[in-house]
Amino acid sequence: MAFDYIVEQLSARKSLSRYRQRVCLQPTVKDNASQHFAMHDTKIIVAGKEYINFSSNDYLGLNNHPQINKAMQEGIDKFGLCSSSSSLVTGYHYAHQALEEKICQWLNKPKCLLFSSGFAANVAFFQTLGQSTGKESKHKSCHFFLDKLSHASMLDGAYSSNAKVKRFAHNNTTQLSQLLSQSDSKNKLIASEGIFSMDGDQAHLKGLTDTAKTHNAWLYLDDAHSIGVIGKEGQGSVSLLNDTKSSDTNIIMATFGKAIATSGAFLACDENLHDYLINFARHYIYSTAISPALAWATIKSIELIQQEQWRRDKITELSMLLRQLLDNSINIISSASSIHAIIIGDEQKALAVSKQLRKQGIWLTAIRPPTVKIGSSRLRVTLCTSHNTNDIKHLARSLNEALI
Ligand SMILES: Cc1ncc(COP(=O)(O)O)c(C=O)c1O
């Protein structure tokens, strides 16, 4: 039969306890009077049962914020929901320009470009920068050096480009330096996540910037899980990269679909790279621009993120509480972010614990290979501003019962 491998690969996934399925979240009633349905707080309803959600990336609790919703409606009224074209035709609206300017001011970067998702932005960047074949001269060849734990979209972009790709052991700048020393390319780029998505730990930014400077390399940071959550006014990694000279060559990508609580992504960089991507990045050129109404709503979300430090403080408080309450024998990765990874190891055990927690009204998805390395299946707990101390106490008690 044609395409036999579909069924074969699905059954292999099942036999390894790595098969994945979606769960459908049902709407919760927000306002009985108007019968207006919406998600709220940290509760989700799956198959008629309510759970506290510890697997959401709405880190700052901004999803469904009335001011962001109002800005979305205002954006629809002003610009329409759809951009109706790609950015280079007639899809680039005032809302997009205003959002780009907002991000440039926020992060103190010269230029910024919007993409329909973080995945698209990463693939676009690596494919486009690495498009030169380097056949003409080694001055045109390009080498990418990625942290081993970099997101799938960075790896896909890098490996589908013409660049040479090396991966260095997680946060290991000594190995990175060795690899850079062996490179004969004039065009070197180091790439890392700011906060790592599945471990919640932070990149060694000082080590990375120093190494980049020593080897005359550019630095690319995927700040998907840092933006909004860390740094002054939630600027993410840039607030920790305070050497303005080296920051000129630093490129920051972040998605709007996590702490910013809208959808899409941005890439902030210098003027030349910005123009280069507009002219050569196929994901940018041949794709409909993001919704202008969404761009308008995103500006409001960023304003709230800048003004409301208490949202970040609350994550820190809840994280400290969880760590205090968890039994010492539980293997939890140290983190200054919203993400707290509890390593279980075996896929089946991770699934069993996740199932047991559901009986206690807790939703915590088990993360398994190939998302994480074999033998490191885990529960990736995300603590959000909208959780309360009782939620954390209930989670810690349930985890202690399930794991010790
Ligand atoms: C580190 C990282 N980069 C990029 C992405 C992709 O972003 P988006 O969901 O906007 O496509 C994700 C999302 O899971 C991520 O965790």
What tens digit of pLDDT does each residue of 199-233 get?
999 999 999 999 999 999 999 999 999 999 999 89
Neighbours of 142 (CB within 10 A): 22
Is the predicted pLDDT of residue 40 greater than 90, yes or no? Answer: no
Give the model's confidence band at 168: pLDDT under 50 very low, under 70 low, under 90 confident, else very high: very high
d(CA 300, CA 296): 7
Query: Model confidence over 277-311: pLDDT tens digits?
Result: 999 999 999 999 999 999 999 999 999 999 999 99
Domain residues of the chain, as ranges? 17-53+309-403, 68-306
Q: What is the DSSP secondary-structure string of 88-127?
A: IIII--HHHHHHHHHHHHHHT-SEEEEES-HHHHHHHHHH
Gap from CA of 152 to ligand 1 centroid (Å): 9
Q: How far is the CA of 67 from the centre of ligand 1 (A)?
A: 25
d(CA 351, CA 402): 12
The pLDDT value recorded for residue 132 is 75
- Stated as kind and residue range, the H or E segment containing 188 is strand 187-193
* Encoded tokens for 33: 């009077």
Cβ count within 10 A of residue 178: 11
Instruction: Report the nearest-CA residue for atom 16 of ligand 1.
Output: 197
**Minimum-distance ligand 1 atom for the alpha carbon of 122:** 4
Span 43-71, pLDDT tens digits: 999 999 999 999 999 999 999 999 999 99
Distance 397 CA to ligand 1 centre (A): 31
Closest ligand 1 atom, CA of 153? 4
Residue 194 C-alpha to ligand 1 middle, in angstroms?
Answer: 12
pLDDT of residue 141: 87
Per cent of the chain over pLDDT 90 is 88
For residues 259 and 228, what is the distance between their CA atoms, to the nearest angstrom?
6
Which of 116, 153, 227, 337 has the most ligand 1 atoms within 8 A of CB, as the residue to mutate? Answer: 153
Residue 314 to residues 62, 309, 332, 334, 374, Cα–Cα distance (Å): 13, 9, 20, 18, 33
Are the C-beta atoms of residues 286 and 277 closer than 8 Å to each other? no
Look-up of token digits 């962001």: 68
Q: Among 124, 75, 125, which Cα is nearest to 99's?
A: 75
Contacts of 151 (CB under 8 A, 6+ apart): 118, 122, 193, 197, 222, 224
Q: Classify 180 as helix, strand or coil.
A: helix
Question: Degrees (nearest 5) of the Cα angle 77, 87, 225?
Answer: 85
| Ligand 1 site-directed mutation target among 155, 255, 337, most atoms within 8 Å of CB | 255
Confidence of residue 238 (pLDDT cuts 50, 70, 90): confident
Q: Are 52 and 361 in contact (CB under 8 A)?
A: yes
Q: Is 224 left (phi over 0), alpha (psi -120 to 50) or beta?
A: alpha
**Centre of ligand 1 from the C-alpha of residue 255, in Å:** 6
Residues with CB under 6 A from ligand 1: 117-119, 122, 151, 153, 193, 197, 222, 224, 255, 257, 265
| pLDDT given at position 33 | 47
The set of catalytic residues is 57, 151, 193, 197, 222, 225, 258
Q: Which pLDDT does position 85 carry in this prediction?
A: 98
What's this model's pTM, rounded to 2 decimal places?
A: 0.94
Mean pLDDT across 148-171: 97
Residue of the nearest CA to atom 5 in ligand 1?
A: 118
Strands (E), 230-269: 250-255, 265-269
Looking at 217-291, list the stretches that DSSP marks H as alpha helix, in order from N- to C-terminal side: 244-247, 271-280, 282-285
Could you say which architecture CATH assigns to the domain 17-53+309-403? Alpha-Beta Complex (3.90)
Tokens found for residue 18:
């790595």
Going from the Cα of 344 to the center of ligand 1, the distance in angstroms, rounded, reads: 24
Does CATH number 3.40.50.720 belong to domain 68-306? no
Ligand 1: which residue has its CA nearest to atom 8?
118
- Domains 17-53+309-403 and 68-306 belong to one CATH topology: no
Judge whether 86 and 285 are in contact, CB under 8 Å.
Answer: yes
Probe residue for ligand 1, chosen from 151, 251, 262, 287 as the CB with the greatest number of ligand atoms within 8 Å? 151
